[in-house]
Amino acid sequence: MSEIDQRRQRLTGARFYAIVDTGYVPLRRILAVTGDLVRGGVDLIQLRAKKQTEEEITSLGHAMRTVIKSDGPLFILNDHPHLVPIIEADGVHVGQDDLSVAEARTRAGTDVLVGKSTHSLEQAIAAEREGPDYIGVGPIYKTGTKPDYVPVGPGLIAQVAAAVRVPQFCIGGINEQTLPEVLVAGAKRIVIVSALLLSEDIPAYCRRVREQIETIPL
Ligand code: TZP
Ligand code: MG
């Protein structure tokens, strides 16, 4: 099987996506936190470094790749598609104001995954036409991680699920407490940022979240 098909197959089974956001994790703790997420058994780990230079992101990415083994979670870089082959990431994630999916694929390489953020039903439908490997849907709830965004509410989850076939990861304000409502609303795949990064015991938090997700079949 080709490398992109292997990555797509791993993505198809993925339910739980974590983001290492340097807004929450001091640089000296990035590798420890990444190791905790790997031990917790998340399916994807994204590096989201909004304030770092490309040099810093390259060095963080190389270091994270040593912790995220090839049989571990998929490793996704937020933005900077041209750095994806350099840090040997499995994919890139772009937002609504970033490059098109096609352009991101050209820069990141044809054998890696491309994900795209969406914030409404219309954006989800339009994004699917661009041919990403997955989309993000959110923020479901108000979140300090993206404070300027209006939450879409859990009601959007079923609407998007009915309208598109590309795998959808629900994101924004999801934590152990809000997860039941998100799952009842129809979410099959979720992303957690702050609740996970700020938890006292990341592997234990991951396991409790996974247990909840797995009560719902894909
Ligand atoms: N995109 C939509 S909401 C969000 C992103 C990156 C942040 C989600 O963070 P949190 O802390 O899990 O609410
Ligand atoms: Mg972006």
Question: DSSP letters of 130-181?
Answer: H--SEEEE--SS--TTSTTSPP--THHHHHHHHH--S-EEE-SS--TTTHHH
Looking at residue 147, what is its pLDDT? Answer: 95
Closest-CA residue, ligand 1 atom 8, reads 172
Looking at residue 164, what is its pLDDT? Answer: 98
> In 10 A of CB 121, how many CB atoms?
16
141-183 pLDDT tens trace: 999 999 999 999 999 999 999 999 999 999 999 999 999 999 9
The mean predicted confidence, pLDDT, of the chain is: 98
Looking at residue 31, what is its pLDDT? Answer: 98
- Tens digit of pLDDT at every position of the chain (218 positions): 999 999 999 999 999 999 999 999 999 999 999 999 999 999 999 999 999 999 999 999 999 999 999 999 999 999 999 999 999 999 999 999 999 999 999 999 999 999 999 999 999 999 999 999 999 999 999 999 999 999 999 999 999 999 999 999 999 999 999 999 999 999 999 999 999 999 999 999 999 999 999 999 99
Q: What is the DSSP letter of 48?
A: E
Ligand 1 pocket, mutate which of 78, 193, 197, 199 (most atoms under 8 A from CB): 193
Tell me if 169 sits within 8 A of 191, measured CB to CB. Answer: yes
Please list the residues that pair with 91 across neighbouring strands.
Answer: 76, 113
Ligand 1 pocket, mutate which of 146, 168, 169, 196 (most atoms under 8 A from CB): 146
Tell me, using a 6 A CB cutoff, whether residue 138 lines ligand 1. yes
Distances (CA, A) of 140 to 87, 117, 133, 137, 173: 31, 12, 21, 7, 7
Looking at residue 119, what is its pLDDT? Answer: 98
Tell me if 111 sits within 8 A of 4, measured CB to CB. Answer: yes
Q: How far apart are CA 176 and CA 205, in angstroms?
A: 8
Instruction: Provide the whole-model pTM.
Output: 0.98
Closest ligand to 79 CA? 2
Tell me if 85 sits within 8 A of 108, measured CB to CB. Answer: yes
